[in-house]
Amino acid sequence: MEGSLVQAFWCLAIIGMCSLVVRVCAAMWLKPRRIRSTLLKQGIRGPRPSSFFYGNIPEMQKIQSMATEKAQSQSISHDWAHYMFPHLLQWSQQYGPLYMYSTANKQHLYVGRPELIKELHHHKSLDLGKPAYLAKATEPMLGDGILKANGPYWAHQRKVIAPEFFIHKVKHMLGIMEECTIPLITKWEKRVAVGGGVAEVTIDEDLRTLSADIISKACFGSSYSQGKQIFAKLEALRESIFTASFFLGLPNTRFLPTQSNRQKWRLKKEVRTLILELVKGRQESNQSFEKSDHKDLLQTILESAADSEAFQTNRVKDQFIVDNCKNIYFAGSETTSATASWSLMLLALHPEWQERVRAEIVEICGDQLHDCSLDLNKLRQLKTLTMVLQETLRLYGPAIMLTREAFAEIRLGDLTVPKGTNMWVLIPALHRDTENWGPDANEFKPERFTGGISEACKYPQAYIPWGIGSRRCLGETFATLELKVILALVLSKFTFSLSPEYHHSPAFKMALVPKYGVRLLMRRVQSRNMGQSEKA
């Protein structure tokens, strides 16, 4: 009897081991081979994997190392993508705008053809979503919120959150945006006065605080000071998550108790606690918002969590709330502040455009902007400012990479994309394609948008600073109006130029940010003639 039990145990162990071997073999060899074979049959080529376990990672690291050395002495250039993702651009030159490569057992399809970008834009199926392995890497910071979720769960979140950013609701937030910006203007005015008429200001730090304050008040009914710890811890999480190997798809080590992972777990727990404290405060002190017509995004999320039958436990319900709050905190503060910083940097480089925008503000709002509330109609009339923002987003949009994973075999035009393929669109490459934008694609020329996006380039579908399709940024309207309010108020009060200490070094940390900050020399604009700047 005992011998039979031992024999049965070993049989089960052998079966289990064989099953594990089969699964590993399928994941590491059969699945990648199937994907590559399907793509090869359609004429898609790419660099051969140099390693069974690492794919093209050794070559990617070598190309990146060489590009980093060249970037050390780079002056101000808008063509920064060549040193940030040099392997993608180098392979594009070798294999064309559509090619495949691999990282470990992940198979990737680089998509740089405008007609396929258009197909991606029109593809609404839930079979296309954010790559699962990237979602796992960013889980401590974003959880399973709207930025990373897939399938029906993502669709539910979008249904809840999207209406809160429709124009009829966002226009009522303009007062909050202006109210939050005035203290920053006052702060800079005092610095200029103390500096004898000129002050050097690292603007990105102040703009990050400003955008955090705006998103806090507009969406959560609280101030930046109340959410300061949440923002600080999310920033620390971002720094710990985003490393040089973020996109490589290396074997997952997120469960190992390394020092880095323990820090992430601690920060994640602390952010969860802080957000739930904010939620508890709302539930206890703001019952009058319940089921009312006047509610912010937090209230909408709370009501959705309370009404949904999908959440079987309070913990699952709390996780839905925490994840989406983290997503809104990050997306609503970092991306907008970075774009505002890059806009002012470009205007500092091009004083003629600074003057043109300022003159437009005078024409529409008068000499004293603080006496003229920036309503939706006036913001829509700021056409020159709109062009500057569109050109800034073309050259320095916060989103660099558009990523999708095919969760089932899909069709894009005449292309069959096999299940498990990770698709990559390098947005800066699309925005600098000379065939689409002309020979001046790397230059700052807002006038290209005089006739709108449809006339700015040959393939308008290849201008995607806000993403594409059903996953296009929900906060686009909110962010655009916020940027117009901030820039209009700043330009009405200050003229500025780049500081000699400014070091141009765009860096990608889940958004395109100035690695060493944006340092400007700021001066007051003469109030009686705002259209004419003081002499530098």
**Largest Cα–Cα separation, the chain:** 102
CB-CB neighbours of 535 under 10 Å:
6
Alpha helices in 45-131 (DSSP H): 57-71, 81-84, 86-95, 114-122
Cα 257-261-267 angle, rounded to 5 deg: 125
Nearest to 199 by CA among 486, 490, 488, 495: 495
Give Cα 277 to chain centroid, integer Å: 27
Identity (one letter) of the amino acid at 366?
A: G
Instruction: Find out whether 473 is annotated in a ligand binding site.
Output: yes
CB-CB neighbours of 285 under 10 Å:
9
CA distances (Å), origin 240, targets 132, 246, 336, 401: 19, 11, 22, 20
CA distances (Å), origin 246, targets 72, 401, 516: 22, 12, 21
8: its two tokens: 């049965």
CB neighbour burial string for 261-282, b if at least 16 within 10 angstroms, e if fewer: eeebeebbebbbebbeebbeeb
What span, in angstroms and rounded, lies between the C-alpha atoms of 485 and 480?
9
First to last CA, the chain: 96
What span, in angstroms and rounded, lies between the C-alpha atoms of 15 and 486?
65
Which residues are annotated binding-site positions? Answer: 473
Which residues are annotated binding-site positions for heme? Answer: 473
